[in-house]
Amino acid sequence: MRGNEIRKTDQREILVVDDDPASLQLLTDILARHGYRVRPANGGEIALRSVAARLPDLTLLDVKMPDLDGYEVCRRLKADEQSRKVPVIFISALGETANKVEGFTAGAVDFITKPFEPEEVLARVGTHLRLHELAEQLEQIVRERTDGLMASNQQLQLEITERKQMEEALKRIEWMLSKKHTSTLEGQEDSQDQGYGDLTALNRDGVILKSVGHDILGSIAADYLDLMGTSSAIYEVNGAYAFGIFASNWCRMLDRASRKLCDTDDNAAALISGQWLCHESCWTRCSKEAIATRAPVDIECSGGIRLYGVPIVTGETVIGSINFGYGDIPNDPVKLRALANAYHLNYEDLLAEFNAYDSRPPYIVEMAKSRLHASARLIGILVERKHAEEEIRKLNKELEQRVADRTVQQEAANKELESFTYSVSHDLRAPLRHLDGFLELLQGRIVATLDEQSRHYMANISDAAKRMGMLIDDLLSFSRMGRYEMSKMQVDLGVLVREVIRELEPETHDRAIRWCIADLPVVTGDPAMLRIVLANLIANALKFTRLCGQAEIEIDCLPSRETETTVFVHDNGVGFDMKYADKLFGVFQRLHRADEFEGIGIGLANVRRIIDRHGGRTWAEGQVNQGATFYFSLPQPHQQGA
């Protein structure tokens, strides 16, 4: 039996808290001999930290301790959500009744007075552990039963809801299948033949009627009138009828009667007379109000039933309203007679229509209201789409005109450019040749009589004339580049680079140049134009490294990207200040004096023009006296235009 107790209690852990080492050891030995795992603590703060780290199954707690007395420790344990259920037994020499009362008030389950017998401690510890275990089991049973009851109640509620839904569905099916209900609009064929004609004829340039059209508006109205079978009207924002239909004899009869009250043959005059009672209800009191408030309106109309109207909105603009009649005809004889008097109708006729009227269940009315809102949104979308189509047509027409104008301008510009080219080629070149020729004749005749300074002046004049000729040639080349018809194909940039370098060998054979040329890709472009690009960039690098003892020129690519291929030419030459980088690719833009480096500033402008025509980009980076790098990118084949 004792062995069974040890096996049973060896899972239980007791926290023993006592600042007296002897008492702490005694309690530890007693509990350990009976199979409990003991966790000793010699103070209140240590005990709290121990419980926070791991919950014990029971706590034996001394009262008088120097750091934190047992009462406070117990109160803190019971205030914590995690440790409040752990049983606490005070064990103290303070055995007065007041001490015990304070202990129980703090939350303890028992109080043992020192000196104590080991059997008493073991008995009380075992009893409270068992009580705690039973309390937990009871709590679990209550929780499970509560959960079961809640689940049963939830299941019951679902069953009740399902039954109600089935009953509601059955009622709807029953109404839909009844002999009274019809799936077509009663009298739709002659719904516009009210004796006074079609009021949409008064609609001049109405947005809704013009954008959507009479037939489509009729189809939209049929969606909810198939359920209601009463009346409907669709209004422009100014009150003009975009559509009107009377699908029941009641609505048709009252409308015709109130139209006769207007005492005029002119529909426009009748509409503003205030005597057309059905129109006043339908437009003035219902749809006009819905437009003004941008919200649904639900009123009792002059004809005894109800009217429900909602605004029609396109974007943020209210462009009209849509409504329908619903509800039962009055069954009060007094009200029917009042209607007969107001509309100048026979009471018996009204009573006959009341008896023939097919009442709609509330859920049918709500369904029709939902469809009415959907119809308003649909009309708004159709009008917005029509406006968008008209705007696109307008923009297309404007674009076509712009293209035509630009074509004319381009043709005129091309003619002007051709005229300019001719002028440069002939009118400017002729006097330049004359100047150079006569200068040469003059030099031949008087060179012997001139001093050194005069000969220097004449040499400068000759150089200037030659430079002017080169300028004209480069300018013509730049002009032709914009009109050159491209022929795109696969181009091996590596082959082009080698060809360009070979052509430049006469200029480089006596220079110390270290070429670093990577494997260059195959791109799509015009080979002749790309040759010009590489020739200009390589010549540029050679020119600006001329003062270097050891010129270094690198030609390579940046890491591949999906959209473009980027090639660069880097040199260790004189470089440039980055604040002038935007000038590099301009016509006649130079960052160095002509006496330092030759050239007139057309080469890089040609590079940019060629790469632009390929749909690519050009840019440069550099530092003064630390070299420069010129980049150009070409779009990947699938990114290029036709």
Give the Cα separation of 130 and 57 in Å (integer).
Answer: 11
Cβ contacts of 95 within 8 Å, gap of 6 or more = 111, 113, 114
Res 272 pLDDT > 80: yes
Q: Which residues of 540-561 are buried (b: 16+ CB within 10 A; e: fewer)?
A: bbbbbbeebeebbbbbebeeee
Segment 16-66, tens digit of pLDDT: 999 999 999 999 999 999 999 999 999 999 999 999 999 999 999 999 998
What value does the mean pLDDT take over residues 619-631? 92
Predicted local confidence at residue 271, as pLDDT: 94
Residue 482 CB coordination number (10 Å)? 13
Cβ contacts of 477 within 8 Å, gap of 6 or more = 602, 606
What value does the mean pLDDT take over residues 402-425? 71
Predicted local confidence at residue 168, as pLDDT: 67
What value does the mean pLDDT take over residues 67-85? 92
Segment 182-197, tens digit of pLDDT: 444 444 444 445 678 8
Predicted local confidence at residue 601, as pLDDT: 59
What value does the mean pLDDT take over residues 449-466? 78
Cβ contacts of 517 within 8 Å, gap of 6 or more = 494, 497, 498, 554, 555, 556
Tokens 């390579």 sit on residue: 556
Segment 93-150, tens digit of pLDDT: 888 888 889 989 999 989 999 898 999 899 889 988 988 888 888 888 888 887 877 8
Choice among 83-87, 101-105, 439-443, 465-469 with the minimum mean pLDDT: 465-469
What value does the mean pLDDT take over residues 374-396? 91
Segment 572-608, tens digit of pLDDT: 998 888 887 777 876 545 555 554 545 545 778 888 8
Q: What is the mean pLDDT of the chain?
A: 84
Integer-rounded Cα radius of gyration of the chain: 51
**Amino acid in position 134:** L
Starting at the earlier edge strand, list the strands of the sheet with 628-635.
513-517, 551-557, 564-571, 628-635, 617-622
Choice among 186-195, 216-225, 352-361 with the minimum mean pLDDT: 186-195
Three-class DSSP category at 364: helix
Domains, the chain, in order of start with CATH, read: 2-141 (3.40.50.2300), 188-390 (3.30.450), 400-467 (no CATH), 485-639 (3.30.565.10)
Res 409 pLDDT > 90: no
By 3-state DSSP, what share of the chain in percent is helix, strand and coil, each rounded to 5?
55, 15, 25
Closest listed residue to residue 286, CA positions, set 231, 341, 331: 231
Res 534 pLDDT > 50: yes
- Confidence band, pLDDT 50/70/90 cuts, at residue 247: confident
Which structure tokens are listed for 203? 């609609």
Angle formed by the axes of helices 452-483 and 429-446, to 10°? 160
Predicted local confidence at residue 556, as pLDDT: 96
Give the Cα separation of 425 and 639 in Å (integer).
Answer: 39
- Confidence band, pLDDT 50/70/90 cuts, at residue 2: very low
Q: Are 540 and 598 in contact (CB under 8 A)?
A: no
Res 371 pLDDT > 70: yes
φ, ψ at 177 (rounded to 5°): -90, 0
Q: How far apart are the first and last CA of the chain?
A: 98
CA distances from 607 to 76, 471, 529, 635, 641 (A): 83, 17, 9, 16, 20
Torsion, CA 587, CA 593, CA 595, CA 597, rounded to 10: -60
Torsion, CA 52, CA 58, CA 62, CA 65, rounded to 10: 0
Give the Cα separation of 632 and 538 in Å (integer).
Answer: 13
Predicted local confidence at residue 190, as pLDDT: 46
Predicted local confidence at residue 225, as pLDDT: 82
Tokens 């200009």 sit on residue: 536
Res 418 pLDDT > 50: yes
- Confidence band, pLDDT 50/70/90 cuts, at residue 4: very low
Res 226 pLDDT > 70: yes
CA angle 576, 627, 604 (to 5 degrees): 60
Predicted local confidence at residue 187, as pLDDT: 43
φ, ψ at 376 (rounded to 5°): -60, -45
Give the Cα separation of 487 and 196 in Å (integer).
Answer: 73
Cβ contacts of 68 within 8 Å, gap of 6 or more = 43, 44, 45, 48
What value does the mean pLDDT take over residues 172-185? 52
What value does the mean pLDDT take over residues 220-236? 86
Bridge partners, residue 89, by sequence: 60, 110
Predicted local confidence at residue 184, as pLDDT: 41
pTM, full prediction: 0.45
Res 312 pLDDT > 60: yes
Predicted local confidence at residue 459, as pLDDT: 78
Give the Cα separation of 353 and 340 in Å (integer).
Answer: 12
Three-class DSSP category at 326: strand
Q: Are 17 and 61 in contact (CB under 8 A)?
A: yes
Which structure tokens are listed for 577? 């200040």
Res 343 pLDDT > 70: yes
Closest listed residue to residue 556, CA positions, set 618, 500, 630: 630
Name the more confident of 287 and 120.
Answer: 287
- Confidence band, pLDDT 50/70/90 cuts, at residue 465: confident
Segment 536-576, tens digit of pLDDT: 899 889 988 988 889 999 999 998 777 899 999 999 998 88
Closest listed residue to residue 541, CA positions, set 566, 565, 517: 517
Predicted local confidence at residue 33, as pLDDT: 92
Give the Cα separation of 115 and 506 in Å (integer).
Answer: 117
